[in-house]
Structure 1
Amino acid sequence: MYTVDLHAHTRFFHGRRALGDRFDPLGVRLLTEVAARRGLDGVATTNHDYYTPFDPAPDVATLPGIEITTDRGHVLVVGPDPPRATNPGALSPAEAVALAHDRDCAAIVAHPFRNSTVRELEDVPFDAIEVNGKHPRSQPLVEELAKERDLPLTGGSDAHYPFEVGRAYTVVEADRLTPESIVEAIRDGRVSARVSRSGFDSLLRRAYRAIHDRKGVIDALDRPTPGVGEPPGEDEESIEQ
């Protein structure tokens, strides 16, 4: 049994690739240090539209991954051989999943209720759906969606800053922790999502909710979603406590 954050980033800024390439080795070291303090066994580096191999950390497994920006939203690809780079918005979700499977990776619907309509595609063979650490109030809807699609749930913090690591994570039933075993466990349904309910994480999520509101981030919890049920009636604070 292992605990793994399946959605984390090695930088807190987007773009500026050359600067990011210089920062990423420091970023991944900070990610793994925080993951170790949180008691996690592994963390997947899922940077936006690129993958960089990193040297193994001493205490926490660093797992390969990429977050592909499709024309309908984000898809996490985790496994032994993720694509090195993708063009944002160039792939459809179906193409992203096919690319993942061709490279022996798992394809996961990322944050299905934030800035995404990927969840509406019923004929795309995803391997799992994510409970995202930035807004766990969506968890009831994610669980309902996963049940309807007969898909397992994974958890990921969506960390862009190291202190965010582990606010959501995945419990993996496996005898060893490797990229291949993660993919096998996801496809076999031997994974489950967990959300940290610590006071710090709850405060952090409320802060991000306020930031997203100011930025105008599209959150499907603010409106009904056809075929998936109505948004929960509780406010965010009541769900997170």
Structure 2
Amino acid sequence: MFALDLHTHTRFFHGFTARPTPFDPVGARLLGLVARRRGLDGVAFTNHDYYAPQDAGPVTHVPGIEVTSSRGHVLVVGPDPPTCTNPERMEPEAVVEMAHDRGCAAIIAHPYRNSTVREVDADFDAIEVNGKHPRTREWVERLAEEHGLPTVGGSDAHYPFEVGRAFTRVDADELTPEAVTDAIRAGRVEPVVGDFPTDRVVRRLYRRIHEGKKQLQTPAWVDGEQDQPTPGVGSAPDED
């Protein structure tokens, strides 16, 4: 059994879309050091729309990318993620097909924040319990049950101290990208939400930020109202 954070970023900032920066190796090392301190065995670096191999220091690096589809974000994790994707150009179905063609798992990222990917009928492999707002875990688990999918955990860390606030227990014999992909697809995974004091403080901050931007969406079965389309990125997708 291995503990992996399946959703991290090697930079403190956005911008420089879909291409590496000189800071990435520094961020990767810092993430790896904090991950080891929190008892993790590995991290997936899932930068927005690009992948570049990095040294995670004392923990194992699992290749990955966070693809900005036309309906929101999809994590692609495994041995051979694409090195670059064009933001908002690919439909989620195409992202899933690409992931599987490259031997990777396709995971719906933060399904209730700034995304309508959860509404897409595609062959996803898992749904994420996101560390920025784990209060949505009940919603995610219900969604996963409806779709017959396992759930995984990822911190969505942009700063090293955020690593491990949500992570995944992976039942595998070895810690390789191929074994991690196989475990996700087979459902041999379990999300875990961390409870460090810094986690609780930062979660409250992110909740205020995302609610202020109107990026968090409550499912209809909670508030009794029909779901309203939410933006994937920038302006809302054209959905009838």
Q: TM-score, normalised by structure 2?
A: 0.90
- Residues 144-169 of structure 1 show CA distances to partners (whole Å, capped at 9, x for unaligned) of 00011110000000001111000000
**Structure-2 residue corresponding to 1:203:** 201
Q: Using a 3 Å threshold, how does the CA distance of structure 1 residues 46 and 18 change in structure 2: closer, same or farther?
A: closer
Report how far residue 12 of structure 1 moved: 1.5
Determine which of 117, 122, 125 is the counterpart of 1:124. Answer: 122
> How far apart, in 2, do the equivalents of 1:81 and 1:94 lie?
18
Determine which of 226, 230, 233 is the counterpart of 2:222. Answer: 230
Give the aligned residue type for 1:136: P
**Structure-2 residue corresponding to 1:154:** 152
Give the aligned residue type for 1:139: R
Q: Tell whether the 8 Å contact from 1:11 to 1:20 is kept in structure 2 after alignment.
A: no
Q: Using a 3 Å threshold, how does the CA distance of structure 1 residues 102 and 20 change in structure 2: closer, same or farther?
A: closer
**Structure-1 residue corresponding to 2:233:** none
**Structure-2 residue corresponding to 1:218:** 215
> How far apart, in 2, do the equivalents of 1:145 and 1:76 lie?
17
Over aligned residues, Cα RMSD in angstroms? Answer: 1.6
Give the aligned residue type for 1:175: D
Query: 5 Å matches for 1:23-38?
Result: 23-38=23-38
**Structure-2 residue corresponding to 1:102:** 101
Give the aligned residue type for 2:165: R
1:184 and 2:182 are equivalent in the alignment = yes
1:53 and 2:53 are equivalent in the alignment = yes
- Please state which structure has a larger fraction of its residues in helix: 1
Q: Tell whether the 8 Å contact from 1:141 to 1:231 is kept in structure 2 after alignment.
A: no
> How far apart, in 1, do the equivalents of 2:93 and 2:15 lie?
25
Equivalenced residue count is 224
| Runs of 4+ more than 4 Å apart | 17-20
**Structure-2 residue corresponding to 1:41:** 41
> How far apart, in 1, do the equivalents of 2:95 and 2:56 lie?
27
Provide the secondary structure at the position in 2 that maps to 1:183: helix
- Residues 97-122 of structure 1 show CA distances to partners (whole Å, capped at 9, x for unaligned) of 0010010000000000000000011x
> How far apart, in 1, do the equivalents of 2:44 and 2:174 lie?
15
> How far apart, in 2, do the equivalents of 1:96 and 1:18 lie?
15
Q: Tell whether the 8 Å contact from 2:65 to 2:75 is kept in structure 1 after alignment.
A: yes
**Structure-2 residue corresponding to 1:238:** none
Provide the secondary structure at the position in 1 that maps to 2:87: coil
**Structure-2 residue corresponding to 1:235:** none
| Structure 1: gaps of 5 or more residues | 233-241
**Structure-2 residue corresponding to 1:77:** 76
Report how far residue 212 of structure 1 moved: 2.3
1:164 and 2:162 are equivalent in the alignment = yes
> How far apart, in 1, do the equivalents of 2:154 and 2:214 lie?
19
Report how far residue 211 of structure 1 moved: 2.3
Report how far residue 54 of structure 1 moved: 1.4
Provide the secondary structure at the position in 2 that maps to 1:220: coil
Give the aligned residue type for 2:39: G
Report how far residue 213 of structure 1 moved: 3.0
Identity of aligned residues (%): 60
Give the aligned residue type for 1:211: I
> How far apart, in 1, do the equivalents of 2:14 and 2:133 lie?
20
| Structure 2: gaps of 5 or more residues | 225-240
> How far apart, in 1, do the equivalents of 2:205 and 2:59 lie?
28
Report how far residue 203 of structure 1 moved: 1.3
Give the aligned residue type for 1:25: P
